[in-house]
Structure 1
């Protein structure tokens, strides 16, 4: 038992948030789940208040979830948390690093600069340019800059013709703005989630898609299964997550006809895949890592 006071930034009532708080309480006797929607930042002092609790007086926070959906508002919450880090509160992961992944373009741009294999990707504000890109790709996934679990994503097929696709682009722009287009890759019914803790490889699980879905997310009916990753595949995941100094993350990898590609590095990482696909309690291991890290810095 340690007397460290570490809060969970997350979604009250959600399993992944609560199981993390459970493990912290068992190890420290302290339990606090912070909903960022209820936090007040005092700019003149840099203090963040959650009810009667001043978060700046904590030893640390584990950032499990900043929002149910990614949006510019989620990025604002990350900027609020930066005040804690500036005040010396240990943040797992760093708000600065998480912020690089909230916006899809910033995250994948970092991966591209590092030479990590990605699906062919084009970004533009111009609808006619987007149609030309679609003709080049033949089939593409149109992705919002802020989204998780394939929410808001749209499959575009050049065979539908420029009229139909121009209308889809117009609807997309009205809601999301910029066109972020990735060449459609065939997943073979599954993609992989590769889990890292403190930069070290933990496990890999497969997300196996529902027969009627184009993506494999659990949100769209997929399921978790174990997967034995090769050393080469693990190295790809390691290179991808190394672009960001995250305490805990999942790297999404697809096995395509042209070789493996990285879809994204998660800003937060999930516990369900590791548990259901690999039988690993990643939340417990994350708490062990965080509390041990305090000991290293004493």
Structure 2
């Protein structure tokens, strides 16, 4: 046991949050799960308070989940953590790194600037331009800029202007991505501190167009070749995350990257790779703050 104070930022009661808190407690004897909705920033006093404790006095904070649902407000929660970081608290991953991934468009632009292959994508507020893109693609997935696990995503076929109108009514900016044949699976390629860890597959559990576990998919082992690992490594490199999963699909046009996860999937690592991500992340954090 050490005397380190490492807090876990996440959703109380959620499996991955509690698993990480358990791993930290097993290594340090200290346990604190921090719900960012219960944190108060006092700029005059230079304190970030949670349940009577100043998080700026901690040795480290590990961000497992910043919110149950992604939204622009999540960016504000990350801004709060920048004070703790300025006070010398090591935060994993750094708030500035995560901020670049919460907004799907920011992630996409960074990936394309790094010359990472992705599905053809159009982003617009104009419904006529959106219809033209769908007609060009034949079928497209409309994605909210802030979402996880395919929530809010809508499959729209060519000519369906009514569906575009409905999506536009809820999302001013339309992120439109060509639908590709994923052959019933996509991959989660996992990295710890920029180093490749393992890969798991998400296999569709039904005739749904997406493979997420939220939509009934299942995890399975997968062994990528060296070229695929290098592609995923290049995709995650610009973000500098402590722990992440790169979402990759194998198509008849070659491998493509959908996104880089701000937080990574612990359950996929466990069920698909047979590894304990919580323990591995905890070991990495302790090594970083005690070296």
How far did 1:221 drift? Answer: 0.2
How far did 1:173 drift? Answer: 2.0
Aligned length: 291
Match for residue 228 of structure 1 among 223, 228, 236: 223
SS at match of 2:262: coil
Output the CA distance in 1 between the equivalents of 2:171 and 2:5: 39
Counterparts of residues 1-298 of structure 1 (less than 5 Å): 1-158=1-158, 161=159, 165-296=160-291
Output the CA distance in 2 between the equivalents of 1:47 and 1:108: 34
Q: After TM superposition, where is structure 1 displaced by more than 6 Å over at least 4 residues in a row?
A: none
Output the CA distance in 1 between the equivalents of 2:85 and 2:236: 21
How far did 1:5 drift? Answer: 0.4
Maintained 8 Å contact 2:156/2:164: no
How far did 1:174 drift? Answer: 2.2
| Stretches of structure 2 lacking an aligned partner (at least 5 in a row) | none
Q: Residues 81-113 of structure 1: CA distance to partner in whole angstroms, max 9, x if unpaired?
A: 111111111000000000000000001100000
Question: Structure 1-normalised TM-score?
Answer: 0.96
Question: Structure 2-normalised TM-score?
Answer: 0.98
How far did 1:10 drift? Answer: 0.2
Q: Residues 186-214 of structure 1: CA distance to partner in whole angstroms, max 9, x if unpaired?
A: 10000000000010000000000022210
Q: Tell me the C-alpha RMSD between the 2 structures.
A: 0.8
| Stretches of structure 1 lacking an aligned partner (at least 5 in a row) | none
Maintained 8 Å contact 2:205/2:217: yes
Maintained 8 Å contact 2:40/2:49: yes
